[in-house]
Structure 1
Amino acid sequence: MLHFSRWKTLLIWLVAFAAVVVAAPNLLSEAQRSSLPAWLRNDRVTLGLDLQGGSHIVLKAERSHIVKDRLEEAVANVRNALRGAGIRYTGLTGHGQTVTVRITDPAETQEAVDLLKPLTTAGGQSGLTLQEGGEGQLSLQISDAGIAADVVSARNRSLDVVGRRITGFEYKDFQVRPEGADRIVVQVLGSVDAERLKNILNQPAKLSFRLLDESMSGQEALNGRWPATSEVLYSLDDPPVPYLVERTAFVTGANMIDIEPAIDPQTQDTSIVYRLDVEGTQRLAEATSRNIGKHLAIVFDDQVMSSPVIDAAITGGEGRISANFSEDGVRDLAVMLRAGALPATLTSVEERSISPSFGADSIVSGLVAGLVAVVLVAALMIALYRILGVIAVVSLFFNLILIVAALSLAGATLTLPGIAGIVLIVGMAVDSNVLIYERIREEERAGPSFAQAVDRGFSRAFATIVDANVTIFIAAIILLFLGSESIRGFAVTLAAGILTTVITAFTLTRSIVAVWLKARRPRHLPKSVVAHLFEHTNVRFMGIRRYVFTASAAISLIAMAAFATVGLQLGIDFTGGSLIEVTAKQGNADIDDLRSRLDELNLGEVSVEPTGRPSNARIRIASQGGGENAEQSAATLVRGELAADYDFRRVEVVGPAISGELTMMATLGIVAALAAILIYIWFRFEWQFAVGAIIATLHDVIIMLGLFVLTGIEFNVTSIAAVLTIVGYSLNDTVVVYDRMRENLKRYRKMPLPILIDASINQTLSRTVLTAATTLLALLALYLFGGDVIRSFSFAMLFGVALGTFSSIYIAAPVLIVFRLRPEASNGEESNKTDAGVRSGTVV
């Protein structure tokens, strides 16, 4: 009989109360939380970017630019070393990752080698190797390992610069973190001007004071050859003017310690007012005193900002740089100069920007979907189990509180797919109660007292519930390593919900049922018309297995043929490109006008379709095929074209590097999830069960992919989440059936396998149907009220749950017959006897 000591009961309710206390601050405003103790007000769920708005930008340190800079540095070092020693040379060039030079006098070759060898270890660097050729030929090779180390170093040094620039932009809630060897992830929450933010993050902002090389004009240099100590740079004018500029800089942005933007109120001319440090002041004074009458070249990112004549030595260390920028532009320039120059060029390879209004709409949609799901599931459970249904609803309520408390303690980020995960848990959490209650109903029919039936029901359902939930938990863990932050949010809530569901079912639910038993002393489960529909089922499922196999095989072949010929409608996650949602500032969105205006931009394949309200439209731009910058340029053009008439609710830009990685990770994720789940089933059951699960799972995945092809629903990272979740759910249901088969295999050793399988399915049919019903109700609420962003996800999940329920009966079970889980027993007396006992629903 169920028994809970007072201490155990007290502990359970103390944990429940603690969960309420930890979760409660999430319902309070910022002002109300400030009055709470520090240990409590900081433990809350953080809303993700897709719920509160903001920008998620991935920056990549450009390897090609680092190679170019390293090559130019190596060439300059060789030139300075040989010139300093008076060694004559010719043919000093850099190409790829190799610097070559020929020593004019072969007798000086060894001296040159000794002179250049220290360059291979300069500054503690490795990766440069010196090689000798014939006739005084020398080469310095920059290794791939050396470049890789430079990339990591540049990325690490860029982190602080990026952080300082965002701070200077007056954004408060942001995060900058490294990713991989060459990337920086920037996330800024709230109302963000994403285009302006990208502009200040992408620019190296390298400022230098140099001298113009006045030995020839810039145009003459372009028409002939210019000195190796100089280079041709262009001005910021339109059209740009070429200048021949000396390579040596005597003052850089690093010497500036006080930088302010200045705007003339009368002429509106913009400039930068600066003050130099002691070293910079001394260098500028020396350089200008020696070059009075010449032109100073102020260079910003390899462009000449201005070229004033040096009338006198500049000794004060203060000055003004004219900047032909807008007011915002000169302020941004000041921010970049204060933050410092980037050690490498950073390119935006991914952008996901959400407006705060779009995030607010998503929150409302998610909350409405969750509320409707709770109401529908609660109504069904109470209709099925009366007082036990009420207990299940109370447990569900505390289960949701536990999920929020766990996410709060972990400081997790809640995303829109994360809300979808919680809504899904609403349906799946009561599955455990259904399994327990139906097991109690079965144990009650076996003959012991009702109290003993309840005790056995909880005990014998435990292994089944754990086995069934492990499969979904594995899928959730795999999802943690896939896709965007929003998908990881779904995985976190799903994994947390599975753990709290199992814990709640066997602690809180069990303790409440124990109190009910002691107080009411019932003799049987509460009567329910719906639940008794499955009491005497005797469906011959295996009798039509050949027909079902044939039909399923045909459908699977059609799905594979459609997949191979038509293919999936891949989203930008896998193809690259841009997805932009806009809302008209006045009136409704004019779809035809949008198409016409975007066609004039010559961006290739562009589609425009209405979405949500009449004022909204969704724009899809195919991959530009010109690298990362081409994707960003396309989105910038669209922003510039539509900004006057439309607000941008959502902008997603995915470059080829990210899309290729997402494709690989999605493929590996599906394979890894299938392998991990099936290894677990192989470990828990006989090998035939694992093979059956493999076939049933492949059947579900193939037909799911066929659904995407047939309906034309976009297949993106959220679709991968749907497929993996369905794989876990399908195996969840399969495990329930398999678990009963394993029991019956031990109990009825001579029963023919088809009859035993039919009996097992009929015995678990109520569980199969009712657990699917609760999950489908939650998903239906999500589909109807969860919003347009996750509608395709919830539709795929709806179809997948129904498909998984079907395959657990008609695919996973019959496979056991094909692989001869048990040789056919003779139709002897004992076989007939046990057959009759099982068919009548009696558990012997």
Structure 2
Amino acid sequence: MLYFSRWKTILIWLTVLVGIVYAAPNVLPRNVTDSLPEFWPTKSVTLGLDLQGGSYILLEVDRASLVKERLQAVQDETRQLLRKERIGYSAITANDRSVTVRLRDPSQADAARTALQPLTQPISSGLMSGGSVSEVELAAPQPGVIAVNLSDQGIDYRVSAAVTQSIEVVRKRVDELGTTEPVIQRQGDDRIMVQVPGLGDPQRLKELLNQTAKLTFQLVDQSANAEQVAKGSRAPAGSELLYTNDSTPQPVLVKNQVMVSGENLTDAQPGFDQQTNEPVVNIRFDSQGAQRFGRVTQANVGKPFAIVLDNKVLSAPVIRTAILGGQAQISGSFTVQSANDLAVLLRAGALPATLDIIEERTVGPGLGADSIAAGEIAGVIGAVAVVVFMLAAYGFLGVIANIALAVNVVLLFAILTAIGSTLTLPGIAGIVLTMGMAVDSNVLIYERIRDERRQGRSVVQAIDIGFRKALATILDANITTLIAAVVLFFLGSGPVRGFAVTLAIGIITTVFTAFTLTRWLVAAWVRGRRPRELPKGWLRLVPEVTRIPFMKVRLKIFGLSMALCVASLASLFAIGPNFGIDFTGGTLIEVQAKQGQADIGDIRTRLGEAGIADPQVQEFGTDREALIRIGSAGDVSDASQQALVDKASGAIAADYDIRRTEVVGPTVSGELAWAAILGVLASLFAILIYVWLRFEWQFAVGAIIATINDVILTLGFLVVTQLDVSLSTVAAILTIVGYSLNDTVVIYDRVRENLRRFKKMPLGQLLDLSDNEMLSRTTMTSATTVLALAALFIFGGEVIRSFVASMLFGVVIGTFSSIFVAAPILIFFKLRPTDAAAAAKAAEAAEKEEAENPTERGTINPGRA
């Protein structure tokens, strides 16, 4: 284990060098990276919105409006096809997802079905799917009645096509804002995720994305009075009542027939009217649109012509003369900004369907800068604490562990940079946690080396056997955490996935550095110094040898743990956790006073006067900051929830800066809640299978029971403290799952080894021996992790404090359960074979394994170490 060939040495240090090269741009000044050669890596880790500010918006295609529009189109086509074949009908009505045709002559039913057959022709569903979809189905519910029904497949196809087309339209609109590196991706079947970092005006982004921008030119119906229709009179057939977009909307009666649509536009530019000097939008049609516009204006001189945008009348000027040049002007109550935005919308094109904002998260640049500073401080303090602790505990071996830790962080940043990952605030928490957990591998190795040395082996033998025996334990322990991270990545969203990526990469780099770099450095030290004794530290949390009778008190402590679990479950239902808006839906706004302290009572009063019912306002972080929560009632729609943000922001904007806003509609909150439950259950099941395959079924059941114990107690802790339960808290719980199992698997690995060594030892005594042998490692690992998390809790900022507090509690309780819950369960399930035949079989298997692995009794030539 201590011999390295030349090519292995070169490969190890080449990997370290490449890592340094890729990670360096993250700390080098921009002018230095710009001066590097073209072949040199210059990319740095992309900062998430919570670190550099910006907006995250999740859009969903409004399926109901899409179905309504499609149904209107089918109704028009049905009418045209029947008229073409001269088939009479008394009524054509659209309802729900069906168009119903009542024929005047029921004997023409077959002829009508034949005439409507073109509607049922399959449409291609795309080259990738290679199939077709029947969008319309014909049915005859009763004689003389034909139902034209939209199929589920057809609606799904239209929604999918609308998402595909909308992505391009959204991208054009966002690009018009001049932002850098926006992320626009499809999510699921009917959603689009828009992430714009560094955006200074998120409200403008929302306004651009929340408009369909469907422009039409329609004639005004002068046969009836619009005011009378608005008061309740019936609108003439073929017309509808619309309103202007003025501050005081005015009714306008508009004919349904679209004379010219925005699809024929080729350009739209903001400008000023030459006579009134008011902001206008100058538009230009293509050849087909120009001809159509010319014919309409020529035939309707002296009549008003409504310019309609998303069912709002922008203006309804009277046509003075025919407009034949293909150019026109849209006027209205525009400001310079609104005229420019309308031009942007028209140039980008209309969305094929209405897009609803169902989730929004906005972080101001000031808060992002504060988050970076807090993350840097927490990282530095956590790193210094871990480095000092390792030096004090292991002396020169601690120096080697710290070198490996530094390289670990470098490789972590190098991989994040290479794969183009986004670093978020929970991602920084993942890095700090990785620093705390990375030393676990070195602690395992060093404690194992000390173990072997106490048994009388030489320094070289102890080092070699220590590395060899620690390998399987480290792999088992880290794979369980990796499973939790993978489940978190696939079932999480946003920053939670960033945390999962960072944690998973940190696990991989930790295993690499522990079994290549640390081993190479120790081998080089042995080869150069030829030590006769292991270096000693100045700090020892527990004595080298302990004989604590853990199993004697197991029933009392196990009973206490079960009682606390029952109390936690009772409080969970009686009191309930303090669910954040991720799970309840609602609005969260973080504000900072422009001057002086934040006045909680004044903020609450202003929000109440603005018509916001039951706002929750609390201090947050410093005395200048406050957190506003506006709950989401069960009947509040996603769109209504969005309106609350504007109302609340307007009420306090004069004296407070908006640092962060989060809006989660009821649609998303329900999905996130289920995803959280599935995430925890899926990770537990996956880890159960892994432990079962690697050990025995008793170990797997024991590990899961101990982990469930930790999860329940952590939930009880969240109820008692009333900390905010958000997506980040779910990430913390899943990390606790991985950490607790890490600890449990390490102890189980020693139990399994001792079962082979001490074949006649009573199981209770053997478990006591295993717990005592691993006590030093367990306390050292917990101490380093707590140090790193404590730095994050104190200096990492208020935003992730509940997240870190949950992990701190989980680390402590996970250490406790590994000793007092996981081990006693093995006695309950009778792990030790009880009959003589089973015992003999186990002894024979152990002797065979020992014979196949004689390295433990061999010698090592220090000259080749």
Judge same fold: TM > 0.5, yes or no.
yes
| Selected match of 1:199 from 194, 207, 218 | 207
For residues 268 and 190 of structure 1, the distance between their equivalents in structure 2, rounded to whole angstroms, comes to 34
1:527-562: CA deviations, max 9, x gaps?
235348422211000011111111111111111110
**1:17 maps to which residue?**
17
SS in 1 for 2:116: helix
Contact kept in structure 2, 1:563 and 1:706, CA below 8 Å: yes
For residues 172 and 606 of structure 2, the distance between their equivalents in structure 1, rounded to whole angstroms, comes to 38
Amino acid at match of 1:537: T
> Relative to structure 2, which stretch is displaced further, 434-443 or 207-216?
207-216
**2:767 maps to which residue?**
757
**1:77 maps to which residue?**
77
Contact kept in structure 1, 2:240 and 2:253, CA below 8 Å: yes
Contact kept in structure 2, 1:272 and 1:323, CA below 8 Å: no
**1:837 maps to which residue?**
none
**1:142 maps to which residue?**
150
Amino acid at match of 2:684: L
**1:778 maps to which residue?**
788
1:720 aligns with 2:730: yes
1:127 CA drift (Å): 2.2
> Relative to structure 2, which stretch is displaced further, 403-412 or 598-607?
598-607
> Relative to structure 2, which stretch is displaced further, 639-648 or 243-252?
243-252
Task: Show the 5 A alignment for 1:520-531.
Answer: 520-531=529-540
1:197 CA drift (Å): 0.9
Task: Show the 5 A alignment for 1:678-693.
Answer: 678-693=688-703
Amino acid at match of 1:754: G
Contact kept in structure 1, 2:22 and 2:42, CA below 8 Å: no
1:72 CA drift (Å): 1.0
1:101 CA drift (Å): 1.5
Amino acid at match of 2:549: R
For residues 247 and 122 of structure 2, the distance between their equivalents in structure 1, rounded to whole angstroms, comes to 42
For residues 483 and 267 of structure 1, the distance between their equivalents in structure 2, rounded to whole angstroms, comes to 55
Contact kept in structure 2, 1:751 and 1:825, CA below 8 Å: no
For residues 20 and 186 of structure 1, the distance between their equivalents in structure 2, rounded to whole angstroms, comes to 33
SS in 1 for 2:430: helix
Amino acid at match of 2:208: I
Contact kept in structure 2, 1:482 and 1:662, CA below 8 Å: no
**1:333 maps to which residue?**
342
1:183 aligns with 2:191: yes
**2:56 maps to which residue?**
56
**1:167 maps to which residue?**
175
For residues 266 and 246 of structure 1, the distance between their equivalents in structure 2, rounded to whole angstroms, comes to 30
**2:511 maps to which residue?**
502
For residues 532 and 598 of structure 1, the distance between their equivalents in structure 2, rounded to whole angstroms, comes to 54
> Relative to structure 2, which stretch is displaced further, 120-129 or 712-721?
120-129
**2:6 maps to which residue?**
6
| Selected match of 1:211 from 219, 242, 252 | 219
Amino acid at match of 1:292: V
Contact kept in structure 1, 2:60 and 2:356, CA below 8 Å: yes
For residues 133 and 486 of structure 1, the distance between their equivalents in structure 2, rounded to whole angstroms, comes to 52
For residues 223 and 43 of structure 2, the distance between their equivalents in structure 1, rounded to whole angstroms, comes to 67
1:265 CA drift (Å): 9.2
**1:345 maps to which residue?**
354
Amino acid at match of 2:734: L
> Relative to structure 2, which stretch is displaced further, 294-303 or 629-638?
294-303
| Selected match of 1:419 from 407, 415, 428 | 428
1:227 CA drift (Å): 4.7
1:298-346: CA deviations, max 9, x gaps?
1111122222222221111112111212221111111101111111000
For residues 68 and 533 of structure 1, the distance between their equivalents in structure 2, rounded to whole angstroms, comes to 72
Distance 1:87 1:805, change over 3 A: same
Gaps spanning 5+ residues in structure 2: where?
125-132, 837-855, 858-865
1:292 CA drift (Å): 2.0
TM-score, structure 1 length as denominator? Answer: 0.95
**1:571 maps to which residue?**
580
Percent identical among aligned pairs is 51
For residues 235 and 522 of structure 1, the distance between their equivalents in structure 2, rounded to whole angstroms, comes to 89
**1:457 maps to which residue?**
466
For residues 112 and 243 of structure 1, the distance between their equivalents in structure 2, rounded to whole angstroms, comes to 37
**2:437 maps to which residue?**
428
Distance 1:182 1:466, change over 3 A: same
1:191 CA drift (Å): 3.2
Contact kept in structure 2, 1:208 and 1:252, CA below 8 Å: yes
For residues 134 and 704 of structure 1, the distance between their equivalents in structure 2, rounded to whole angstroms, comes to 62
How large is the RMSD of aligned CA atoms in angstroms?
1.9
For residues 436 and 386 of structure 1, the distance between their equivalents in structure 2, rounded to whole angstroms, comes to 15
1:115 CA drift (Å): 1.4
Task: Show the 5 A alignment for 1:227-626.
Answer: 227-263=236-272, 269-531=278-540, 533-624=542-633, 625-626=635-636
Task: Show the 5 A alignment for 1:787-798.
Answer: 787-798=797-808
Contact kept in structure 2, 1:25 and 1:40, CA below 8 Å: no
1:37 CA drift (Å): 3.5
1:587 CA drift (Å): 2.3
Amino acid at match of 2:174: I
1:825 CA drift (Å): 9.6
> Relative to structure 2, which stretch is displaced further, 595-604 or 369-378?
595-604
**2:863 maps to which residue?**
none
Gaps spanning 5+ residues in structure 1: where?
827-842
Amino acid at match of 1:455: D
1:33-90: CA deviations, max 9, x gaps?
2222344445421111111110000001001101110111111112222234433212
> Relative to structure 2, which stretch is displaced further, 240-249 or 220-229?
220-229
1:122 CA drift (Å): 7.4
For residues 81 and 241 of structure 2, the distance between their equivalents in structure 1, rounded to whole angstroms, comes to 24
**1:634 maps to which residue?**
644
Contact kept in structure 1, 2:386 and 2:436, CA below 8 Å: yes
> Relative to structure 2, which stretch is displaced further, 529-538 or 244-253?
529-538
Contact kept in structure 1, 2:588 and 2:663, CA below 8 Å: yes
**1:815 maps to which residue?**
825
Amino acid at match of 1:815: I
**2:665 maps to which residue?**
655
1:132 CA drift (Å): 2.3
1:750-796: CA deviations, max 9, x gaps?
11110000011111111111111111111111111111111111111
For residues 268 and 588 of structure 1, the distance between their equivalents in structure 2, rounded to whole angstroms, comes to 45
> Relative to structure 2, which stretch is displaced further, 304-313 or 705-714?
304-313
> Relative to structure 2, which stretch is displaced further, 510-519 or 295-304?
295-304
Amino acid at match of 1:820: K
1:498-522: CA deviations, max 9, x gaps?
0000110110011110111111111
1:430-468: CA deviations, max 9, x gaps?
111110001000111222211111000000100000001
**1:28 maps to which residue?**
28
Contact kept in structure 2, 1:692 and 1:812, CA below 8 Å: yes
**1:670 maps to which residue?**
680
Amino acid at match of 1:703: L
1:646 CA drift (Å): 1.5
Distance 1:108 1:225, change over 3 A: farther
Contact kept in structure 1, 2:395 and 2:538, CA below 8 Å: no
**2:655 maps to which residue?**
645
**1:109 maps to which residue?**
109
SS in 2 for 1:783: helix
Amino acid at match of 2:201: D
Amino acid at match of 1:21: V
Contact kept in structure 2, 1:753 and 1:824, CA below 8 Å: no
Distance 1:123 1:233, change over 3 A: farther
SS in 1 for 2:457: coil
Contact kept in structure 1, 2:34 and 2:42, CA below 8 Å: no
Contact kept in structure 2, 1:259 and 1:337, CA below 8 Å: yes
**2:853 maps to which residue?**
none
Amino acid at match of 1:218: A
| Selected match of 1:740 from 730, 743, 750 | 750
1:202 CA drift (Å): 0.7
| Selected match of 1:802 from 812, 830, 844 | 812
SS in 1 for 2:352: coil
1:196 CA drift (Å): 1.6
